[in-house]
Amino acid sequence: MNKHSVVVTLLAVAGLLVGACAGGRTDVEERVGPVTLEVVSQDWSGWSKEQPDPENTRVSVSQGDTFSVPVIGDDVVVRVSEVHDEGMWIETDQDLMRKDDGFDDADDEFELENGVPLELTTTTMDAGTTITLTIA
């Protein structure tokens, strides 16, 4: 093999490697993050003046990760479906409402923006849980 053939072969291999690294990965879910979230869950009841203390936690999550938030009666499982420059999209395993929206607006997918707390509540009128998520 002459010197010219070696150089051409090395350039071809380098081009393939660069192309493989730059191309999309279809066999593995791309994970973006980690992002730290402040999670506050506050149980409430319309039947009592005294309310329990809120539970504060921090979780470090990447795209594709899940975490649980305790609510009255069960846990809500939250999945980070997308992380982007302005925040993230999350999915929940049960319908929730933005704190000041009505029952007709219950959903299981929400956008969380950097610096803007997202307040969600369980779909109940007499007692439930408010979940506040903030990107730290």
pLDDT of residue 32: 66
Look up residue 109 and give its amino acid: E
Assigned domain for 72 exists:
yes
The arithmetic mean of pLDDT across residues 126-136, rounded, is 95
Tell me 2's DSSP state. -
Number of structural domains, the chain?
Answer: 1
Assigned domain for 19 exists:
no
Specify the higher pLDDT residue, 90 or 74.
Answer: 90
pLDDT in tens, 13-70: 455 444 444 444 343 344 467 999 999 999 999 888 888 999 999 999 999 999 999 9
**In the structure, what pLDDT confidence band is assigned to residue 116 with cuts at 50, 70 and 90?**
very high
**CA separation for the pair 61, 98 (Å, rounded):** 22
Boundaries of domain holding 106: 35-135
